[in-house]
Chain A
Amino acid sequence: QSALTQPASVSGSPGQSITISCTGTSSDIGEKNLVSWYQQNPGKAPKLLIYEVIKRPSGVSNRFSGSKSGNTASLTVSGLQAEDEADYYCCSYADSRTLVFGGGTKLTVL
């Protein structure tokens, strides 16, 4: 159950788009379309942004979108806003019906 690999930080200016990658293996991300993304603000509980690679829960802005290619999943945030500044985590089904998180990415809005 090795953690998925995410960049430690990304940044962008308001209005721009950024993409956060999440790299795993054929035993986790590559095996099933069960990748989810979470946003966490300091001192708060995480919030589900994307599930099953591309689906958005009700109430989540359509500025957040997900995708996957092979063993790498991606979260794109378009039209960056100051409120998007937070930590972002990917999570995937892994072998033996377990879950594994990425190490997290800090998004800074310049």
Chain B
Amino acid sequence: EVQLLESGGTLVHLGGSLRLSCATSGFDFYNYGMSWVRQAPGKGLEWVSSISGSDGSTYYADSVRGRFTISKDNSKNTLHLQMNSLRAEDTAVYYCAKNYESSGFYEMGAWGQGTLVTVSS
């Protein structure tokens, strides 16, 4: 059974940094593309970042490029999101997601339960 478990969400000050983690099990983590998607309170889904399973290429939304870094630790089957220079608009539940059937990242077939990041002054 595929399992994804996010952690690291908390209250952080404006301009601060935070590292989210997503521990996975039940599939060959190395081969799959992974993504982070966020949802601000009462709002819709927003794609944040993805990493390819084939070559580790990374992709970012304009809203986070240059501030966030996605990475995979294949030895620990864990996905990370390093978040720097946090803004109030980064407040959201952050979900990690596994691509459905390939090393790409275009269809998110399994999701974690989410972790809440609150950015406040």
Contact = CB atoms under 8 A, between A and B. Distances in A.
Given A57-B100, A98-B59, A99-B50, A48 B109 contact: yes
Contact of A104 (B37, B45, B111): B45
Contact of B106 (A34, A47, A89): A34
Interface residues of A, number: 25
Contacts of B35: 99
B53 interface: no
15 contacts: A1-B61, A3-B44, A36-B106, A38-B45, A45-B95, A45-B111, A46-B45, A46-B108, A48-B108, A52-B107, A98-B60, A99-B35, A99-B59, A101-B37, A102-B44
Contacts of A89: 44-45
A46 B111 contact: yes
A100 interface: yes
Contacts of A64: none
Interface of B: 35, 37, 44-47, 50, 59-63, 95, 100, 105-109, 111-114
Contacts of B112: 45
Interface of A: 1, 3, 34, 36, 38, 40, 45-48, 51-52, 57, 87, 89, 91, 93, 97-104
B100 A99 contact: no
Contacts of A3: 44
A99 B38 CA distance: 13
Contact of A101 (B47, B105, B111, B114): B47
Given A1-B61, A3-B44, 14 more contacts: A34-B107, A36-B108, A40-B45, A45-B95, A45-B111, A45-B112, A48-B100, A51-B100, A51-B106, A52-B106, A91-B108, A98-B47, A99-B35, A101-B45
